[in-house]
Amino acid sequence: MSSMRNAVQRRPHRERAQPLERRRLGLLEKHKDYSLRAEDYGKKKAQLKSLRQKAADRNEDEFYFGMMSRKGPGSRITSGKSWNGTVQGDRGNKALDLDTVRLLKTQDMGYVRTMRQVVSKEVARLEEQVVLTRGLDRLEEEDDDDEDLDDDDDNELPQSAKRKAPRKIIFTDDVEERDEALQDALGADQEDEEDGAKKSENDDFERAKALRRLKRQLEHARKKLKALTDAERELETQRAKMAKTATSGGRTRKGSKIMVRTRKR
- pLDDT tens digits for range 95-153: 788 888 888 888 999 999 999 999 999 999 999 888 888 776 666 666 555 555 555 55
What is the model's pLDDT at position 256? 76
- pLDDT tens digits for range 35-70: 999 999 999 999 999 999 998 888 877 777 666 655
Question: 79 versus 36: which is more confidently predicted?
Answer: 36
pTM of the model: 0.42
For residues 61 and 76, the answer to whether their CB atoms sit within 8 Å is no
